[in-house]
């Protein structure tokens, strides 16, 4: 899978298919998504955006479901997963860096 995100949407495409259309579409985000990443086992995706929220998404079903939301005080420029795969780091427009512990079961 590969994700493409932008203004108010996330689209997921199956790289193993010849289908050019997204296999999963989510249109419930209020502003631009600026960062997308995946947990190494492929069950989880994380996003950050201009709505000042970082989200954890469950990819185990065909409908994209947000499992956790982390609210900050400024737009999020980048989201990355800590190398231990259980922490999330987010630099933001207010020049801060936030690290959150994640429990994904």
Residue-wise pLDDT tens digits, 11-70 = 989 999 999 999 888 888 889 999 898 887 888 888 999 999 989 888 887 778 888 888
Give, as one character, the DSSP assignment of residue 93: T
The pLDDT, as a whole number, for residue 84 is 60
Task: Using alpha carbons, list the distances in angstroms from residue 70 to 51, 97, 103.
Answer: 11, 13, 13
Q: Does residue 87 have a pLDDT over 60?
A: no
95 Rama class: left (phi>0) / alpha (psi -120 to 50) / beta: left
Higher pLDDT, 94 or 69: 69
Q: Look at the block and give the residue holding tokens 């939301």.
A: 69
């Amino acid at each position: 899978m590969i994700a493409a995100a932008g203004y108010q949407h996330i689209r997921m495409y199956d790289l193993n298919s010849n289908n050019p259309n997204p296999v999963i579409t989510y249109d419930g985000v209020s502003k631009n998504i600026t960062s997308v990443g995946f947990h190494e086992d492929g069950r989880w995706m994380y996003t950050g955006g201009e709505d000042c929220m970082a989200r954890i998404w469950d990819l185990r079903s065909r409908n994209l479901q947000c499992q956790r939301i982390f609210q900050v005080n400024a737009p999020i420029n980048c989201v990355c997963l800590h190398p231990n795969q259980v922490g999330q780091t987010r630099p933001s427009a207010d020049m801060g860096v936030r690290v959150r512990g994640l429990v994904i079961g």
